[in-house]
Amino acid sequence: MTVEKNRQILLASRPRGEPSPDNFKLVETAVPEAGPGQMLLHTVYLSLDPYMRGRMNAGASYAQPVEVGEVMEGSAVCTVVTSNLPRYMAGDIVVAGTGWQEYSLSDGEGVQRVDPALGPISYALGVLGMPGLTAYTGLLNIGKPQPGETLVVAAASGAVGSVVGQIAKVKGCRVIGIAGGEEKCRFVREELGFDGCLDHRQPNLAERLQAACPSGIDIYFENVGGAVFDAVLPLLNNFARIPVCGLIAHYNATELPAGPYRVPLLMRNILVKRLTFRGFIVFDYGSQFRDFITDMSGWLREGRVKYREDITDGLENAPRELIGLLKGENFGKKLIRVSPDPTKR
Amino acid sequence: MTVEKNRQILLASRPRGEPSPDNFKLVETAVPEAGPGQMLLHTVYLSLDPYMRGRMNAGASYAQPVEVGEVMEGSAVCTVVTSNLPRYMAGDIVVAGTGWQEYSLSDGEGVQRVDPALGPISYALGVLGMPGLTAYTGLLNIGKPQPGETLVVAAASGAVGSVVGQIAKVKGCRVIGIAGGEEKCRFVREELGFDGCLDHRQPNLAERLQAACPSGIDIYFENVGGAVFDAVLPLLNNFARIPVCGLIAHYNATELPAGPYRVPLLMRNILVKRLTFRGFIVFDYGSQFRDFITDMSGWLREGRVKYREDITDGLENAPRELIGLLKGENFGKKLIRVSPDPTKR
């Protein structure tokens, strides 16, 4: 193998509002060599996820930001090129927090082996990985779905939303999705088997949601915020649960929307309807990973959970695709294929 | 006993904003006679509570509103005058949802017997009654206090706040109260044993609260809303719990405060800090009443929970005192003594 250069994408500057291609910089460096206790990884699939927008801002959130000039943060499915670690050998397939680059070194920390028997190896970044675990743990631990209840989830064709809705169907819920555009909505209804899916780009979302949820809403899995949240709030039933997983509608915001100051209205709803809002981050539930893999690989096998990917070739396209992801332009779980999939050669 | 007339206070009109005396009307009617399956009650102590403001508005909340022309809703400690119910006899002392009147009929539903051995009979409307159960169930079921954690509660000298803080002390928490005026704050610190108490009428509440909570806030028992909530939010620790019990700062509001629309900021806090906001109403936890009475009467006996009442004589003063309660003019649990306490004759 003649390896000559490593391509990396750095954070060139911090965006104000929507990121632009200028905020990223593609550089070429030497491919590093694995020292003692290290292995060299070659990126196959890089995952693009909404949380990456947060890492581009200064100031700590639940994780540290990426510094300007550093490689953009991200997880990837990789092949092991060379290994000085006893647990891994060349040719192994793993998931690691490589960042946006073709080659990376790892000491094995946080690395997880990918079992190709469970499904395509790219699934380890989606339905069998972090987004799937997010859907599974947030829905089951906080949403606590009961048969006959109504669940609403937005970004319903996406990596998390699609899984939330399908698990809720497995648990006997009535499931209404929200997505951008009729093509996605049709997919959600016809392929994923949701009971309904509304296009948030069409007018009168609140009225259409009310019509689609004649018994109100018992679980709202919050991953978008914004206008969807405003439409959901009046429809929540007593004792409804709202796992708060993401707020993609606000990630590019530079200031708060105009008033009035509606927090008292939200709090009044929480009080009178005895609502539960609980935020969570997938790392809080890492201990449930094994249960998750068992359940989810079973549901995939049985055809009870279906999963769609949206793959773009070429590391150089990652900035453009992340910008698009934040505007809902992807259709399914967004991946960058950085090098050929070794299981498909 | 020569009973000639019954005095009642009716809802004369619905307030817009702060209630005024015009919204109430004192009338005299005949004292009713207990028919089959009924008993006649004579009100001793009438409880005044913030929830009553909500009942004066049109439109359903978690309970139906009082209709204009109806007797104002309320609970009272009463003596049984005559009884056609096998379980009660003349002279018994009970708590019942009598409304604001001197005499009332009851079929026994929702009535609870008062045990004078547990404390003054008026306590059945406070520390040993609904406000105490509110504090106990909200704190223990939702707040889940752990030794060494910091709890903040407002209206700290009041019927609910004072009990929340003292139970949290029993559970090993550091407790900071918020109250209106230095006299109340001194009482909260010196008599109730809170670790600190801040006067919300003085400037710079946010800065003073931060100084009083150097390790942040793990539990905020929400019973006021408004400026206190705004001061608390930035100080909440990861995994903080917020039982939402009341929002007295907003009960007289006729419109939402000016913008910006801060809901996204609140939701971001919920997400990033993995907060739990959960609304509750005391009736949700009625099954815990027996545990509550056992624990609370023990804590009272041991001097671990202290309790202050603010008693005004005369049913005719109830409207004025409710108006004052909504402005924080009471100092301790507000009661109207409608007739002499039979245990103190």
Between A87 and B62, where is the model more confident? A87
Interface test with A, best of B53, B267, B284 (most A CBs within 10 A): B267
pLDDT category of residue B320 using cuts at 50, 70 and 90:
very high
> Is there a single domain that holds both residue A315 and residue A278?
no
- What's the rounded Cα separation, in Å, for the pair A270 and A272? 6
In terms of phi and psi (left: phi > 0; alpha: psi -120 to 50; beta: otherwise), the region of B53 is alpha
pLDDT category of residue A60 using cuts at 50, 70 and 90:
low
Domain count of the fold of chain B: 2
Cis peptide before A257 (omega within 30 of 0): no
Contacts of B254 in chain A (CB under 8 A): none
Q: Is a pLDDT exceeding 70 seen at residue A1? A: no
> Is there a single domain that holds both residue B176 and residue B291?
yes
Final residue of a domain: which of A284, A301, A318? A301
State the pLDDT at residue A59. 77
CB contact under 8 A, A261 and B266: no
Give me the domain span that covers residue A73: 6-125+307-344
State the pLDDT at residue A252. 72
Cis peptide before A319 (omega within 30 of 0): no
Structure tokens belonging to residue A64: 């540290």
List the CATH number of the domain containing B212: 3.40.50.720
State the pLDDT at residue A161. 96
> Is there a single domain that holds both residue B325 and residue B297?
no
- What's the rounded Cα separation, in Å, for the pair B79 and B342? 8
Q: Is a pLDDT exceeding 80 seen at residue A96? A: yes
Weakest mean pLDDT among A246-250, A289-293, B161-165, B174-178: A246-250
Residue from the list A260, A279, A284 with its beta carbon closest to the beta carbon of B257: A260
Is B1 among the domain residues?
no
- pLDDT, mean over chain A: 93
Instruction: Report pLDDT digits (tens) over A2-25.
Output: 557 999 999 999 999 999 999 999
Which whole number is the average pLDDT over B128-151? 97
Which whole number is the average pLDDT over B200-211? 96
Three-state DSSP class for residue B6? strand
CB contact under 8 A, B62 and A272: yes
Three-state DSSP class for residue B60? coil
> Is there a single domain that holds both residue A115 and residue A143?
no
Residue from the list B229, B244, B263 with its beta carbon closest to the beta carbon of A271: B244
> Is there a single domain that holds both residue A103 and residue A141?
no
Judging by DSSP bridges, how do beta strands B76-83 and A309-313 pair with one another? unpaired
Å between A255 CA and nearest CA of chain B? 9
B243 to chain A: nearest residue by CA? Answer: A271
CB contact under 8 A, A225 and B267: yes
Sequence-ordered strand ranges (E) for B137-274:
150-154, 174-179, 196-199, 217-221, 236-244
State the pLDDT at residue B233. 94
> Which residue has 């979302």 as its token pair?
A205
Å between A300 CA and nearest CA of chain B? 29
Is B185 among the domain residues?
yes
- What's the rounded Cα separation, in Å, for the pair A168 and B119? 50
Contacts of B246 in chain A (CB under 8 A): 271
Q: What are phi and psi of B84, to 5 degrees?
A: -105, 20
Which whole number is the average pLDDT over B44-48? 98
CB contact under 8 A, B278 and A281: no
> Is there a single domain that holds both residue B228 and residue B200?
yes
Q: What are phi and psi of B43, to 5 degrees?
A: -70, 130
pTM: 0.90
> Which residue has 């009147």 as its token pair?
B101
Is A191 among the domain residues?
yes
Most confident of A184-193, B60-69, B222-231: A184-193
CB contact under 8 A, A261 and B261: yes
CB contact under 8 A, B267 and A280: no
Q: Is a pLDDT exceeding 70 seen at residue B126? A: yes
Contacts of A229 in chain B (CB under 8 A): 263, 267
Å between B115 CA and nearest CA of chain A? 31
Å between B25 CA and nearest CA of chain A? 28
Contacts of A265 in chain B (CB under 8 A): 256
Weakest mean pLDDT among A153-162, A185-194, A221-230, A260-269: A260-269
| Residue A280 near residue A243 (C-beta atoms within 8 A) | yes
Three-state DSSP class for residue B132? helix
Q: Which residues of A touch B (CB under 8 A)?
A: 61-62, 222, 225-226, 229, 238, 244-247, 250, 253, 255-281, 284
- What's the rounded Cα separation, in Å, for the pair A96 and B146? 36
Is A190 among the domain residues?
yes
> Is there a single domain that holds both residue B105 and residue B175?
no
> Is there a single domain that holds both residue B21 and residue B165?
no
Interface test with B, best of A221, A267, A275 (most B CBs within 10 A): A267
**Spatial CB neighbours of B310, under 8 Å, sequence gap ≥ 6:** B330, B331, B332, B333, B334, B335
Instruction: Report pLDDT digits (tens) over A290-340.
Output: 999 999 999 999 999 999 999 999 999 999 999 999 999 999 999 999 999
State the pLDDT at residue A261. 65
CB pairs under 8 A between A and B: 138
Contacts of A284 in chain B (CB under 8 A): 274
Q: How many residues does chain A have?
A: 345
> Is there a single domain that holds both residue A145 and residue A106?
no
CB contact under 8 A, A264 and B256: yes
Instruction: Report pLDDT digits (tens) over B9-26.
Output: 999 999 999 999 999 999
Is A158 among the domain residues?
yes
> Is there a single domain that holds both residue A289 and residue A191?
yes
**Spatial CB neighbours of A193, under 8 Å, sequence gap ≥ 6:** A166, A169
State the pLDDT at residue A253. 73
ipTM above 0.85, yes or no: yes
- What's the rounded Cα separation, in Å, for the pair B36 and B33? 10
Cross-strand bridge partners of residue A9:
A26
Interface test with A, best of B220, B223, B263, B285 (most A CBs within 10 A): B263
> Is there a single domain that holds both residue B40 and residue B118?
yes
Is B15 among the domain residues?
yes
Is A1 among the domain residues?
no
State the pLDDT at residue B261. 65
> Is there a single domain that holds both residue B290 and residue B340?
no
CB contact under 8 A, A277 and B275: yes
Q: Is the dihedral of CA B267, B269, B275, B276 positive or negative?
A: negative
> Which residue has 């004025």 as its token pair?
B320
Burial class (CB in 10 A: 0-12, 13-18, 19+), B282: buried
Percent of chain B clearing pLDDT 90 (strictly above) = 86
CB contact under 8 A, B264 and A250: yes
Is A297 among the domain residues?
yes
List the CATH number of the domain containing A49: 3.90.180.10
| Residue B175 near residue B194 (C-beta atoms within 8 A) | yes
- B318, amino acid identity: A
Burial class (CB in 10 A: 0-12, 13-18, 19+), A42: buried
